[in-house]
Amino acid sequence: MKKAFPILLVAAICMSFQVKNVSNPTTTTSSELENNVTSPSPANVSLGTYVGTLPCADCEGIRMKLTLQEGKAGKSKTFVMEQTYLGKPAGNNAVKIKGIWFPARGNKQDPNAVIVQLIPDGKYDPLYFMRLNEKAIKMLDRQQNPIKSKHNYILQKQR
């Protein structure tokens, strides 16, 4: 029994992290999102490139460039996010992330909010932004809540 206890403990911890609410778009896979989300009109999310400098815990800021692209002929919408960590040595200061994105309607604070859900390829966690207007989106936390901070989390659309 003593040998089984660590295994049971690890299993219990792992199970506590499992997501059980599939109806919440923050916990679904990209294919489930594509098939089940009632999306707002694509006109509510302006395609194009958004830029801004977000706060960083161990650098001067993260220069973010997010390009939202329309899907081609039945394919998912795609995005490219380029992050540059300001004040870090060249060569180790840039990350490029690609994936798919979905518009969704509503979060806990506003049932009519337009939420941009980014589902990155690979090892990265999903990201969420709320449409402020046609020219700006604001980063949300992992539960799609506004980030409580005096720092800037807004990306502005380029031309």
Instruction: State what percent of residues in the chain have pLDDT above 70.
Output: 72
Residue 9 lies in a domain: no
pLDDT: is 21 or 146 the higher one? 146
The pTM is what? 0.71
Look over the chain and give the mean of its residue pLDDT values, rounded to a whole number.
78
| Full domain range(s) for residue 36 | 23-157
Residue 12 lies in a domain: no
| Number of folded domains that form the chain | 1
Q: Kindly report the number of other CB atoms within 10 A of residue 118's CB atom.
A: 20
Residue 94 lies in a domain: yes
Residue 113 lies in a domain: yes
Is 25 in a helix, a strand, or coil? helix
Residue 4 lies in a domain: no
Place of tokens 């919440």: 24
Residue 2 lies in a domain: no
Residue 125 lies in a domain: yes
Domain with residue 130: its CATH number is 2.40.128.640
State the pLDDT at residue 90: 83
Tell me: pLDDT of 21 over 60.
no
How confident is the model over 41-57, as pLDDT tens digits? 544 788 999 999 999 99
* Exposure letters 53-70 (e unless 16+ CB within 10 A, then b): bbebeeeebbbbbbbbee
Residue 1 lies in a domain: no
Tell me: pLDDT of 28 over 90.
no
- Beta partners for 54? 62
